[in-house]
Structure 1
């Protein structure tokens, strides 16, 4: 079964997800989630480095 893929879009009229009130693709949502996850991992790495002194990799 073949789905719509990452270019499928949905409307975001209330601008709850940063679309400016327009449509967003699944690709935009996934990339945004990856960016946010990476940002938080960086913060956790900085905290861990302050605790044990080992530099991040």
Structure 2
């Protein structure tokens, strides 16, 4: 499914928040959000058990 959706990154898709948007923008936004939440989870884990990442 992912490979099929990302064949044409310049394709325009409807986006209720930002208006019509390129697939490239949507993909970048998803990656940024995921990274942000992973960082939050790391902070919570460190606060709970005191261990740090690599």
Q: Specify every segment of 5 or more residues in structure 1 that has no aligned partner in the other structure, as ranges.
A: none
Q: Distance in 2 between matches of 1:29 and 1:10?
A: 9
Structure 1 runs (4+) deviating above 2 angstroms are none
Count of aligned residue pairs for this structure pair: 49
- RMSD between superposed Cα atoms in Å: 1.8
Q: TM-score, normalised by structure 2?
A: 0.74
Q: Specify every segment of 5 or more residues in structure 2 that has no aligned partner in the other structure, as ranges.
A: none
| Structure 2 residue corresponding to 1:27, chosen from 24, 29, 45 | 24
Q: TM-score, normalised by structure 1?
A: 0.71
| Structure 1 residue corresponding to 2:36, chosen from 26, 34, 39 | 39
Deviation at 1:55, TM superposition (A): 1.3
Higher relative contact order (CA 8 A, sep 6+): 1
